[in-house]
Amino acid sequence: MTTVPRPDRQLRLQEPGVASRWTILVPVKATTRGKSRIDLPPEARQRLALAMALDTVSVAARCGRVMALVENEADAVALQAVPGVAVHLTTVSGLNESILDGVAALAARGVDGLVAVVPGDLPGLLVADLAAGLVQCETHRFAVVADHQGVGTTLLAATVAAALTPRYGPGSYRRHQDAGAVPVLLPTTSSLRRDVDLVTDLETALLGSAVGSRTRAVLADLARPPGRGGPGDRASQQVDGLRRAHGVTVEMCTANSSDPGGSSGT
């Protein structure tokens, strides 16, 4: 079994490629059971969930120091391989609890200010959009950004770690405001607001040009028909359905393809 590095190494926050005073927590639900509302076979859904998380932390690492909050060793190994990303293997249950556990881990390392939380399901996230959101959040002690539906939360930020009060759950955008967070208004077109929970969210992401390279590669692999190296099962049918319904081309990302971790994300 793969061993996660010792805790002192897990919590060492590497300097990001882009100077920033923010520390960004990215909670990642175990990919073996995450994204259950996306109608794909379990193995395909796990691969997709991990790819989306990897694309998300890759962009976040260009806007600050990143700590991924993970539930199992396999996800920890994959995520900490991304430059600028540290991992914390949490042992608590629940999203709010894991975030507070991450804040405590940061405090143990002397980090107590400018802490943000970004979900691990933003495969189309652009560096410019996340940076813009963080800049606006700096003017508030505690701030929140809504998802594209105006119901959930895609960015929670505090200028002092002690002010970060996670209230995730149904209607979290309102719940965070009730807890004192100031709403930061971003355009609905902002990639920071485009989290993926349902197939329809995935459709929207595919229609955009900035889906991360890992997510696009997994979708391309799942879309391959039988006999061409792809799964050839319900996963292929589901992804092919997205292409036919929306005229979307799912293909392998090349060096010049749109990638939020590449030049298009700056």
Residue 126 has pLDDT above 80, yes or no: yes
Residue 237 has pLDDT above 70, yes or no: no
pLDDT given at position 67:
98
**DSSP sequence for the chain:** -PPPPPHHHHT-PPPPSS--S-EEEEE---TTTS-TTS-S-HHHHHHHHHHHHHHHHHHHTTTSEEEEEESSHHHHHHHHTSTTEEEEE--S-SHHHHHHHHHHHHHHTT--EEEEE--S--TT--HHHHHHHHHHHTTSSEEEEE-TTSSSEEEEEEEEGGG-----STTHHHHHHHTTPEE----TT-GGG----SHHHHHHHHHSS---HHHHHHHHHHHPPTTTTS--SHHHHHHHHHHHHHT-------TTS--TTSGGG-
All structural domains of the chain, each given as residue ranges with its CATH number in brackets, are: 9-193 (3.90.550.10), 199-265 (no CATH)
188 — alpha (psi -120 to 50), left (phi > 0) or beta?
alpha
Residue 235 has pLDDT above 80, yes or no: no
pLDDT given at position 16:
45
Residue type, 204: T
Phi, psi of 129 (to 5 degrees): -70, -45
* pLDDT confidence band for 8 (50 / 70 / 90): very low
β-pair type (85-89, 23-27): unpaired
pLDDT given at position 210:
67
Per-residue pLDDT tens over the stretch 164-218: 999 999 999 999 999 999 999 999 889 999 998 776 666 666 555 568 889 988 8
pLDDT given at position 35:
78
CA–CA separation, 223 and 239 (whole Å):
5
Minimum mean pLDDT range among 86-90, 94-98, 210-214, 233-237? 233-237
Per-residue pLDDT tens over the stretch 61-88: 999 999 999 999 999 999 999 999 999 9
C-beta of residue 63 within 8 angstroms of C-beta of residue 24: yes
Residue type, 163: A
pTM to 2 decimals?
Answer: 0.81
Residue type, 201: D
Encoded tokens for 174: 């309102």
Per-residue pLDDT tens over the stretch 33-68: 887 778 788 898 899 999 999 999 999 999 999 999
Residue type, 58: S
pLDDT given at position 81:
97
C-beta of residue 174 within 8 angstroms of C-beta of residue 107: no
Please report, for residues 7, 60, 63, the alpha-carbon distance to residue 261 in angstroms, rounded to integers and kept in the order given: 27, 9, 11
Per-residue pLDDT tens over the stretch 15-31: 443 447 899 999 999 99
Q: Give long-range contacts, CB 8 A cutoff, 24+ apart: 76-82.
A: 76/4, 76/10, 77/2, 77/4, 78/50, 78/54, 79/28, 79/53, 79/54, 80/4, 80/5, 80/10, 82/54, 82/57, 82/58
